[in-house]
Amino acid sequence: MGLTTGTSKITRAYGPGPHGQIHYRRSGPDGTRSPLLLLHPCPGSGYLFDNFMAEMGRDRTVIDLTDFLYQS
């Protein structure tokens, strides 16, 4: 499933983690510049990064760790 914002497509996916799956969103092409990792200051929706991901994802991979890695 993906979202197209401006000229960049944002896709959602899951990756393996030490305690289960990690949900992330990704935008931009592979290997053109150093990737940019977006971290949330608190739990919440990654949609607040949509416009920023679209702009920065024009020439680099942008990854949004939407699940906020923390343990209670």
Q: Spell out the domain ranges in the chain.
A: 2-65
**Using 50, 70 and 90 to split pLDDT, how confident is the model at 9?**
confident
Q: Is the pTM of this model over 0.75?
A: no
pLDDT of residue 24: 87
Structure confidence by residue, pLDDT tens digits, 19-53: 888 888 899 988 778 999 988 777 667 778 888 88
Rounded to 5°, the CA angle 1-33-61 comes to 15
Return the biggest CA–CA distance within the chain. Answer: 38
What is the band of 62 on the pLDDT scale with cuts at 50, 70, 90?
A: very high
Contacts of 52 (CB under 8 A, 6+ apart): 38
Name the band, by pLDDT with cuts 50, 70 and 90, for residue 2.
low
